[in-house]
Structures are given as C-alpha cells and as structure tokens.
A and B are shown apart, each in its own frame.
Chain A
Amino acid sequence: MSEATTDRSARETPALGQVERVERPRRPSAGQNALVFGWRAVLKFVHVPEQLFDLITTPIMFTLLFTFVFGGALAGTPQDYLQFFLPGILVQTVTFNAVYSGMGLSTDLEKGLFDRFRSLPIWPLAPFAGLMVGDILRHLIAGLIILTIGLVLGYRPEAGVPGVVAAFSLLIVIALGFGWIFLVLGLLVRTPMTVMTLGFSFLFPLVFASNVMVQPDTMPGWLQTIVAVNPVSLITTAMRGLMAGSASWGDLALALIAPAVLTVTLAPVVLALYRRR
C-alpha cells in the first residue's frame, strides 16, 4: 500500500475514517424496528411539510367546487349537498393519498435506500410497517383538515364526536387496505411518476363511478350495478352511516370486505416482491 498520497492531506483530519470498533447492541424487537420507521415518517413531515399541500389541495378544491357549484343543482341547496358529500370526500382523500405512499416507496427503492434496509439484520416487514405509520398520520392530518373545513362551511355530523371517531377509525382501516395496491405498484414500477399515473387512472373511475358525489338513481342501469358493488360505494355508505349515527353492522361488514381481501391477498405479494428484488 502506498502511503505517499495520503500523507499530504493527513494533517487536516488525522482521524478520518478511523473509528473504534463498535459491537452490536442487544437485538431489537420487530416492534422497535417498526417504530424507528414510524419516526422516520414523522421526520419527513417535519422536513417536507409541503407534502401536506399535495394531499389536501385536491380534496379542498373538490369540497368547495362540488358544494357551491354543483351542490344546489344536485341536492337542492349547497348546505344539503355538503351534508351528503363530506363523508364521501373523506373516502376520496384517503384513497388518493394511498397513491402518494406508493410513490414514496418507489422513490426509496429508486434511491437504493431499501438496499440498505434489506442488508440490515432487522425484521423484513419493518420498513412497510413504518410506511403505514406514516400513512396513518397522513390520513389523519388530511382527514381532520377536510373535516374542519366542512364544519366551518356548516357540515354537522349527527352522531357527534363518537360518530366522527368511529368514522375515522374505519377510514384508516380502509386506507391501509387500499395501501397494499400501491405498495405492490411501488415495488413493481421503477419510477414514482409512473406509479402516480397508473394509480390515478385506476382510482379516478373507481371514485367517480361510486356514490361519493351523487346518488346513482339517474345513472344508466349498467352503471348503477357497478356503483352498487363498487367497494368505494360500500365504504362511503358506511362512512355516512357512522357520521350520521345510522350505520348497521351489515354496512360495516360490507365496507370491510375490500380492505380485508386486499390485505390477505396482497400482503404476501408485497413480501415476496420485496425479498426477490
């Protein structure tokens, strides 16, 4: 080894790279690992608060436009329409947000960050658990902002605080269910922009061909059939029920079918794709 080249600059920082040997501490639990990734998600909020802007601009615009432009025509008065629309716009917000978490994953993979995580002796699913912690935070923040705007505009949940808490709990379960689709996309597709394009071209028809914006009575028969079985419709119905205090156990069960099926089928796919990369 030639030392001649190093001696010249050795004076400034004689200890560059000279680290003492450090042994591994006691092996952390899977839960501890997952919490670290959750902490990472929180830090990202602190450093990049702009990302919230992306999340809430569309739903705020939708709320205002639909309420004041179409609301009167659709429901008689903007006030009546807002009462109908707000639970639906919450569903739209969290499903659209799931696209952003797929983009985040795709970005991490593109940057090689997950290679580092995968070469660490940690619980293999911890990074995904951490993503979900971040997602839950995102959904809660976006949902609360939309709800606040709704309350300011005159929306009143008949079931009060317990109804809202129940509705938000359902919302998060549903969002996590849909999240799997975008984790798979994030793992399969190399570029974050493609994840977004694919995600929205799938979600737009799914959200519009539902009862989020309007009751399907005036739609053609074939479309009414689609709307009736569209998971987004089932979820929106349950949300409306919870916030109005009129939800049945049946409504809830129907709303939970899609998230449950997605979790059971896609979680193993995510794990397999992650391991195979």
Chain B
Amino acid sequence: MTDAAPTPAIEARGLRKSFGGVEAVAGIDLIVPRGAIFAVLGPNGAGKTTMMRMLATLATPDAGRATIMGHDLSADPQGVRAAIAMTGQFASLDEDLTGRENLVMLSLLWGFGWRGARRRATELLAAFDLADAGGKRVKDYSGGMRRRLDIAASLVVTPGVLFLDEPTTGLDPGARQKVWRIIRGLARSGVTILLTTQYLEEADQLAERIAVIDRGRKIAEGTSRELKAAIGSGMLHLTLADPAVLDQASALLAARLGESVQRSPEGGKLSVPARSSAAAAAALTALSEAGIEVADFSLGSPSLEEVFFALTHDETREATA
C-alpha cells in the first residue's frame, strides 16, 4: 500500500484472552502503521503467540476489538483472512508433500488455476532460493529451508499484513541472516510485518517500533532508541578483574550513582546507568580507592537486553515513549 492509507494496518484495543483462568493476554492495545516492521518482544509465555493468533483469526478474544487493514476481526473474519498471512512458530507445511506441491496447493486454494498455481510456485521457489529443492519432500528440508518455504507459503497472494511468530527461533546464524533479509525485502515492497521474537537483537535489527510484552501486558513501546533512552542516557559497563568482589563492587556503585545495578556473575560484569561521564569517572575512582580492580570498562547507550531487564524486573518503571 503505497498510497496514503486512512487506517493503520493493525488497530487493537483491550485484547484479552484467558485459558483456564490464566490470563494469557490481559488487555493489550496495539497500533501498527501500514508498511512498518513492528516487533513484539517478550519472554516465553508472555502472551505474544496468543495475541498474534487472535489477530490472525485463529483464536477468539474474550474481550476487546481489533481491525486489520480496515476489516473488523469479529464482524468480518473472512475479510481479515483475505488481507493477512501467518507463518506460525511450527512450520505449517505438509511434510509428506514436496515444497513445490505445498505452494501449488496453497495457490489453488487462493483461487489460481492449474497453470497459474504452477507458475506462482516456480516464482516463489526461485525468490526464496529453493528452486533446486522444489521437488524434494519437506520432510527432508533443513530448518532454514523449511522456514523460507513457510514464509513463501504466506506470500502466494501478497498480504497486507504478514504475521511472523518467532521467525528465526531455532535457526543457525546463516539461516537467520537469510530470513532477516527476506523480512526487510518484504517490508520494502510494502507489506506490513508484525513479528514476535524473544531475541532483542532481532527486534533491534529489524523493527521500526517495538512493543515489550510481559505476563500478558504491554510494559513499553517505542523505537529501539526510545526504549534505550527511557532507562537513562548512558550506561557504564564494567568487567571486574576479580569476580569474587562482585557484591562489594555492586554495592559501591549503587550507593555512588543512586541506580540499581545489573550484574552477570559469570564474567564478573556489571552495568549501571550513569547520567554523565563525570559521574561515571567518579564511580570508577571510588572503585579503585576501594581496591577493586577493573579489567575493562565502557560508557555507552544501554543494549536492548538491559532495557528489557530493567523493564521486566522493575515494574514501577514506565517507559512509554
């Protein structure tokens, strides 16, 4: 959709869904502009998949409403289905069939004739670097090939919105790069993409906007930069020469900078927000006066991981940018 669009690609208000008394999604609002890559970031069991399944008409919300490409989810589910495609967490392909047959089958279901369906399958196989594997049964595909075929299967008809549920989970780095390139390519051709991920790097790399979800609630939303800015302008990262003094160093830094310290005991690493380089220098001086040797330090913007940690472990912090 290159023309000026009147409605967002996805507009959801107060979506809720419980399973046996447990609220998987506890009231989520979401607005995704057309043509954007939007990432929903959260740990396992945060409600990401449930939310996506509701938006893709696969689960009925208990409360709330949503429109997808202008079609109301509850009043016009077939309209929604015609405007979307979904690639779930588990390859939604027929493993007994070949890659080509899977694509021909889906093309036929969309309404292409025999000739058109075959041509469509050939085009998609070529576009996803699967031309040589088209005649092989999906059972014999590698994880990366399967994922690519699965995404190709979602593009038989170009969707307005493409839902990708953890598109790179379980892939090796090379295969993950390929999927990322596919996602960027699709966004360039105007497809709105909503993806879920538990990889902070993935959201950071791909998405224009990120919603952080934890325990069924949206706890933050913004661009990667906004989210990082929300927990402070700078972050002091330290590696201690002797990990044994981690507690002591951590207490000292917390007192000195008045901020909570994130620690990873494995490598004796500490991260703490620092408002200015002067404050960071003062903290380093305090450490050296206390006889704590620092092996390595840097001052920079926080990683998304640190943002995520701060957001999910400090409920009082509101980081809506």
Q: Which residues of A contact B79 (CB under 8 A)?
A: 121
Q: Is there contact, CB below 8 Å, between B92 and A113?
A: yes
B56 to chain A, nearest CB (A): 5
Complex Cα distance A112/B137, Å?
17
Q: Which residues of B contact A13 (CB under 8 A)?
A: 129
Q: Is there contact, CB below 8 Å, between B178 and A19?
A: no
B299 to chain A, nearest CB (A): 22
Near A by CB (< 8 A), chain B positions 69-90 give: 78-79, 81-82, 84-86, 88-90
Take A111-B90, A121-B78 as given contacts and tell me if A25 and B85 are in contact as well, using a CB distance cutoff of 8 Å: no
B-binding segment of A3-11, A155-163, A176-184, A250-258: A3-11
Q: Is there contact, CB below 8 Å, between A1 and B129?
A: no
B-binding segment of A43-51, A54-62, A165-173: A43-51
Take A47-B97, A111-B95, A120-B110 as given contacts and tell me if A18 and B180 are in contact as well, using a CB distance cutoff of 8 Å: no
Q: Which residues of A contact B206 (CB under 8 A)?
A: 1
Q: Which residues of A contact B180 (CB under 8 A)?
A: 5-6
B-binding segment of A33-41, A64-72, A142-150: A33-41
Q: Which residues of A contact B272 (CB under 8 A)?
A: none
CB nearest to A7 among chain B residues: B181
Q: Which residues of B contact A26 (CB under 8 A)?
A: 111
Q: How large is the interface on A (under 10, 10 to 19, 20 to 34, 35 or more residues)?
A: 35 or more
Q: Which residues of A contact B82 (CB under 8 A)?
A: 24, 121
Task: Point out which of A5, A20, A24 has the most chain B C-beta atoms below 10 A from its C-beta.
Answer: A24
Complex Cα distance A100/B78, Å?
31
Take A116-B92, A120-B81, A121-B82 as given contacts and tell me if A40 and B97 are in contact as well, using a CB distance cutoff of 8 Å: yes
Q: Is there contact, CB below 8 Å, between B93 and A113?
A: yes
A residues near B, CB below 8 A? 1-2, 5-6, 9-10, 13, 15-28, 32-33, 36, 39-40, 43-44, 47-48, 108, 111-113, 115-122, 126, 276-277
Question: 13 interchain pairs (CB within 8 A)?
Answer: A5-B205, A17-B184, A19-B158, A22-B156, A23-B157, A25-B112, A26-B111, A36-B109, A43-B96, A44-B97, A116-B92, A116-B153, A119-B57
B residues near A, CB below 8 A? 53, 56-58, 60, 78-79, 81-82, 84-86, 88-98, 101, 105-106, 108-113, 116, 120, 123-124, 126-129, 137, 151, 153, 155-158, 174, 177-178, 180-186, 188-190, 205-206, 208
